[in-house]
């Protein structure tokens, strides 16, 4: 599982983009994902959530939003 924050490009500089690998557990029918520990690791905003298979191939992203506190 991974999160990729959407980027913001200005003056040829791409800032805000961030990649976070997420811990998860799995049972027969469900994945449980551990969110980032705090807002310093994942500031508020929109992220793409991916499931990456054993071959390193990502799923189609689902958008998630972390709201401001």
Phi and psi angles of residue 28, each rounded to the nearest 5 degrees, phi first: -60, -30
Q: Which two structure tokens, joined as six digits, stand for 12?
A: 């040829």
pLDDT at 16: 76
Would you place residue 7 in the very low, low, confident or very high pLDDT band (cuts 50, 70, 90)?
confident
- When divided into structural domains, the chain yields a total of 1
Tell me the residue range of the domain where 55 lies.
Answer: 2-66
Mean pLDDT of the chain: 88
- What separation in angstroms does the CA of 53 have from each of 29, 50, 57? 16, 10, 5
Task: Provide the sign of the torsion angle of the four alpha carbons 12, 8, 47, 62, taken in this order.
Answer: negative
Question: Of 44, 56, 49, which Cα lies nearest the Cα of 19?
Answer: 49
CATH number of the CATH domain containing 46: 2.60.40.10
Write the DSSP symbol of residue 28.
S
């Amino acid at each position: 599982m991974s999160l990729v924050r959407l980027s913001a490009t200005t003056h040829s500089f791409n800032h805000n983009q961030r990649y976070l690998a997420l811990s998860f557990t799995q049972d027969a029918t469900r994945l449980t994902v551990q969110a980032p520990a705090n807002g310093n690791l994942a500031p508020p905003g929109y992220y793409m959530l991916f499931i990456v298979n054993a071959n390193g191939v990502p799923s189609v992203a689902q958008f998630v939003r972390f709201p401001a506190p």
